[in-house]
Amino acid sequence: MSVVAMQAQLPLDVESQPALIVLGRDDSNKPHASWFGADEIDAARAAAKAMGMMALAVDTPEVVSLAGRLPHGKIFGSGKAFVPFVKQALFEDLIIHVPFVEQVRPLRVVRAEAEGDGAAAPTPPENGTSNDGSAVTVPQDWSKVGPGCLVLAVADDASEGWFETVILKAKGNTAFVCRWRDYPAEPHFERPLAGLALMRPSRVQSV
């Protein structure tokens, strides 16, 4: 089946059809990927470069089919992109279509334990600094969760997964005002306690 025929199965709005896929691994070696429309190609390529990720054009029937299994990404005002987690098998199906020149090492260093050398998982630090220079703590239990803590928060669309988040302030006893750790310029948001999770030791590589 041709690319045109494959894309005919997607929404008629050209801007809502996958034209580029951004993919890569994070510092925990977890795979991420999402698609962007024709009107987002330039911004998505720039975001991929800024984040140390790869860009894959949706220009073959195989890639069109794979793109249909991915979430639609989001370009932030900061120039970076929101690229959710995907399953390992799907990521492996995608990576074989990425041109060699695009297969760059992510800017976030993948730790030795994620590369399979048997190194033990690091102990989460009690204190640290976020990527914007502000002090944060990594709570070990829920009794220590509060402003200045680094936790995980569920995305607005829960299917996109959970991402590193800094708590800014509490709203009563059941909700918090937060910001994404990796996107400090993005608008602050609220999450109930049920929308937060503690960082696992294997995930806390650096804060």
pLDDT less than 50: residues of the chain: 1-12, 104-126, 202-203, 205-207
Write down all domains in the chain, each with its CATH number in brackets: 3-102 (no CATH), 127-197 (2.30.30)
Nearest-CA neighbor of 145 among 184, 179, 175, 182?
A: 175
pLDDT in tens, 90-111: 998 998 898 765 654 443 433 3
pTM for the predicted model, two decimal places: 0.50
Looking at residue 44, its pLDDT comes to 95
Cα–Cα distances in angstroms (integers) from residue 116 to residues 90, 96, 104, 163, 176, in the given order = 21, 21, 20, 23, 37
Nearest-CA neighbor of 154 among 78, 82, 202?
A: 82
> In sequence order, what E strands does 37-159 have?
54-57, 74-75, 81-82, 127-129, 135-137, 150-154
Nearest-CA neighbor of 176 among 199, 200, 148, 156?
A: 148
pLDDT in tens, 62-73: 999 999 999 999
